[in-house]
Structure 1
Amino acid sequence: MARASTYQGPVPSRPRSSTRRGSRGRGPGRPSVEKTILGVPERFMRPRLILIAVVVILTCFGFLMVYSASSVTSLTSEAMGNDPAYYLKRQLAFAAMGAGIAAFIASRDYHIWGKRLVGIIWALTIGLLLLIFLPIAGSDAYGATRWVAIGPLTLQPSEFAKITIILVAADQAERYYDEQAVGFQDFVKNLAVFVGVPLVLILLQPDKGSTLIIAATLIVMAYLAGMDRRWILIVLAVGVAAALVLSLKDDYSRARIVTMLDPWSDPTGSGYQLIQGFYAFGSGGLFGVGLGMSRQKYSYLPMAYNDFIFAVVGEELGLVGTLGVLAAFGVLAWAGFRIARYAPDMCGRLIAAGCTSLIVIQLLVNVCGVLGLIPLSGKPVPFVSYGGSTIMSCLMLVGVLVSVSAHSTLPETVHDRSRQSWQFADGQGEARGPATSGDPGISLAGTPTPRSSRPRGDAGPGLRMVDGGGRAHPQARPRGGGSRTGGRGSCEGERIDLGPSAAERLRGRGSGRGDGRRGRN
């Protein structure tokens, strides 16, 4: 008689035998690989792996271009020890720190960063942004106070504030649009405090480029959250008007606009850097002059390893190289938005979409500035340009994206809910716990139960399953005129006997034409 048990919930998978694993040549680490990669649905694992692969490729390509663009400058500088790899070594150190932080972020549930600790993260960010205004910590450079000097390290808090603003905005949007835990007035007040305050502090540095990138990212998140398009258009119009006013307010910003429109009006002054970038693109042509063979990096193009590294890519690798970089970021954008699409809640969707949008928008701001399509902003190319704060913050954004992907789950379907009612039964329905790994198997064949004897109540509905296979007592099936089994299932070795053949069951029972003994050999 087959053993029985009752089980509420999904059927646990039975591990393969060691003999079978050995026959296929699987190593001891294969089960963990299957659980980590092969056991994840394709819709989650594919964009995650593509995202990680593209980021690794872009970062390694950035190391190569930073070394190529900065080697001449650092080689001729005594302050840098005449070391051609000075900037490369620093970039490697910052990338290692950023990768470690990103791995830690990715290993934790994104709800920790976007829900539980978001208030603490916001307070720390405000503290860092306020720290740059203190004379003991602020470091002035290029007409702006954007850096904090902490010992040998120089960090830019606005780069890390971008991540905080994304987390805070996603949390507030979910509370208002999805959970409906706050009213409209409270929602606006929260945005003014948690999003507006860090934006104002960034703008006061001044850092108009970062403010523009964050504002554009917030508009994308608002659209995806379901905000009324009329409100989005109003906010967008107000933002453009405010940007124009701020750009025309001081001489430095007005000079950048004039330089964008006509760089040759001051070829040795404000337009010098942009003109040298044009020369770099023109020299590169279709396939470039060759990797490491740039001429503009010989002190002709200022900040060739940072703001204008895209121009060096165009000179050394040509149009093909620049299009390859843009294509890599296009793949990154696809992977990031796929992760956002399959996120389990609105908070995850907005966080993933915000992180992806910020990276792509910052790329476009740099590329368009180098090409003279918009005023120069001083924003580097993510993963490629030199900059400790930039590479660390970009890798942290990727860590948040991986966290969202790693903690995404398939939605429960009607079939999943149906499987919750499946039961195992011992004999006449005695309860047993979940099936263990030692059970020989599950069979849907067994002794039929009369309707009057079927269990009622909670155990009534659902599918009844009994263990089969080797646990049943083998009974030889009669052949060639043997006795009937009366419809009872029997087991012959590893095969389950379902009783008489279909032809015999159709003949029926009793006397006359329905006599089951007629027509037997």
Structure 2
Amino acid sequence: MSAVPAASRVASPDEAASPQRRHGSLLGHWNSVVTSYYVIVGASSLLLVIGLVMVLSSSSVESLDKSGNAYAVFLDQAKFALLGLPVAIVLARMPVRFFRAIAWPALGAAIAFQSLVFLGLGCGEGGNKNWVCLPGGVTAQPSETIKLALALWLAAVLARKQAYLEQWKHVFIPAVPVAGIAIGAVLLGHDLGTALVMFVLVAGALFVAGVPLRMFGVAGVFAGAAVTALVLLSDNRMGRISNWLGGDECSASADCYQTLHGSWGLASGGIGGLGLGQSREKWSYLPAAHNDFIFAILGEELGLVGTLVVLGLFALLAFAMIRIISRHPDPFVKIATGGILAWIVGQAFVNIAVVIGLAPVIGVPLPLVSAGGSALIMTMAALGVVIAFARDEPGAADALAARAGVVRRSLAVVGLGRVATARSSRSARDAAPRSSRGGGRA
């Protein structure tokens, strides 16, 4: 029996797949046309669930004390999440041309909504009067609507002027004056924290649009001068910064009191945390424990592991949005995604920097995690817009349309998929004419 020459032997599939090729196939799954879509949906959903759990844990004590119901704040947050979910789903199904068409009217409506703050309907606390209080106890924060509207408006304007963005006048008109009006309307309500986030949003949109870096340098000087003036003209802001830089010893009335207890909460959590619901700081020691400083409660109860999970989820959101920017051919989508990325991820890191003491207390929530109805709904709406962009990536729409049904996938997971397929095959054979099967009479 002659030996088969090595050159003529057919390699098996396992042998043919080299380690590099197998490794490449794994990377190929991560780099598929629907990666951005699934990463955004997954990371957003996990952050929302973590937020609801932490709002329940961090607010239960004070809710019980104020209203006799430990679930009061949590039920409000769950209600807002249920309101934001259909908004996000509807926006995620919209075509890109819809967002381009509504950019101008959306910004006009958002600024008009913000103007209600100065027409007798404004309310707030701590020197910040940036909410609208309507009859029946309904409150809303119009500045949150301006963020999304401004991102879409900047994308619509800058996408049409991309060929001219090397010139000052085309960058300046109309983007800078209109963005200045939107940010100025927020500053009139004394909400410097939200205005700073909007500055970051505008910078992100301009950067992705391709504005030269030399213009950012000049704009940064003017923006820094404006922020410095706003700080110097406010005793409240000056007090926060002086305490952050190391002023008088902290007391219950000092601005450093909140940061101090936030640091204590993070420090006492250690690696694995004290356990869910076991926070000590939420017992009225840490102000805004369920809102601006919820990250401190998360670190206290879930430890370093919990904080790293949240940071990782925001990093995944950033990765997916950067991927959309790099893959999508439409400049409108790129610029709008850049603005939303700068808003959500930038605000998250500003909030975390405040909690860990790297920045003075500014007063911005942690997106998707902190309690707050307007912020939660508009953040979910913005993520719905980005999901729509991810669905419009090259090849993504066809890949998503080719997916098997949810019920069929679920049956396959529990082992019933084969049973259902076998039954349908038997039914098809039984329904076939007898002459098409063997054994029939001639």
TM-score in terms of structure 1 length: 0.67
Residue in 1 that maps onto 2:70: 84
Aligned position for 1:281: 266
CA contact (8 A) 1:264 1:275 kept: no
Cα deviations by residue, 1:111-158 (Å, 9 ceiling, x for unpaired):
322x212221111111111011121x2123221211112333211011
Say if 2:244 is the partner of 1:260.
yes
- Tell me which residue corresponds to 1:50: 39
CA contact (8 A) 2:33 2:395 kept: no
Aligned-partner residue type, residue 36 of structure 2:
P
| 1:45-93 C-alpha deviation (Å, 9 max, x unpaired) | 111111101111110111100000000001111xx3x111111111111
Provide the C-alpha distance between the structure 1 equivalents of 2:332 and 2:189, rounded to a whole number of angstroms.
Answer: 30
Matched, 1:231 2:215: yes
Q: Does 1:108 align with 2:94?
A: yes
Q: Given residue 351 of structure 1, which amino acid in structure 2 is its aligned partner?
A: A
Structure 2: which amino acid aligns with 1:107? Answer: R
Q: CA deviation at 1:187?
A: 4.9
Q: Look up the equivalent residue of 2:285 and give its one-letter code.
A: Y
Pair 1:188-2:192 in alignment: no
- Pick aligned residue for 2:145 from 157, 160, 176: 160
SS of 2:359 mapped into structure 1:
coil
Work out whether 1:389 is the aligned partner of 2:394: no
CA distance in 2, matches of 1:244, 1:90: 37
CA contact (8 A) 2:186 2:195 kept: yes
Deviations 1:462-498 (A, max 9, x none): xxxxxxxxxxxxxxxxxxxxxxxxxxxxxxxxxxxxx
User: Contact 1:175/1:182 (CA < 8 Å) preserved in 2?
Assistant: no
What is the correspondence of 1:105-504 to structure 2 with a 5 Å cutoff? 105-113=91-99, 115-135=100-120, 137-150=121-134, 151-178=136-163, 185=169, 187-262=171-246, 265-269=249-253, 270-409=255-394
Q: Which runs of 5+ in 1 are unaligned?
A: 1-39, 412-521
1:415 aligned residue: none
The aligned length equals 366
| Whole-angstrom distance in 2 between the partners of 1:47 and 1:119 | 27
1:498-513 equivalent positions in 2, closer than 5 A = none
Identity %: 31
Aligned-partner Cα distance in 2 for 1:348–1:158: 22
Looking at structure 2, the residues matched to 263 and 398 of structure 1 have their Cα atoms a distance apart, in angstroms, of: 40
Aligned equivalents of 2:370, 2:42: Cα separation in 1 = 18
Q: 1:237 to 1:43 in 2, by over 3 A?
A: farther
Q: Distance in 2 between matches of 1:406 and 1:249?
A: 47
* SS state at 1:117 partner: helix
Q: Structure 1 residue 42: deviation in Å?
A: 5.9
* Partner SS, residue 344 of structure 1: coil
Is the contact between residue 133 and residue 145 of structure 1 (CA under 8 Å) also seen in structure 2? no
Which residue does the alignment assign to 2:82?
96
Residue in structure 2 matched with residue 70 of structure 1 by the alignment = 59
Aligned-CA RMSD value = 2.1
- Specify whether residues 364 and 263 from structure 1 end up closer, same or farther in structure 2 by C-alpha distance, changes over 3 A only: farther
CA–CA distance in structure 2, aligned partners of residues 248 and 319 of structure 1 = 36
Pair 182,314 (structure 1): closer, same or farther in 2 beyond 3 Å? closer
SS in 1 for 2:271: coil
Aligned AA (1:92): A
**CA displacement, residues 202-231 of structure 1 (integer Å, 9 cap, x when unaligned):** 111111111111112222222221111111
Q: Which has the larger radius of gyration?
A: 1
Whole-angstrom CA distance in 2 between matches of 1:245 and 1:204: 14
| Partner deviation per Cα, 1:252-290 (whole Å, 9 max, x = no partner) | 010110121126533332221111112111211221111
TM-score normalised by the chain length of structure 2: 0.79
Output the CA distance in 2 between the equivalents of 1:293 and 1:45. Answer: 40
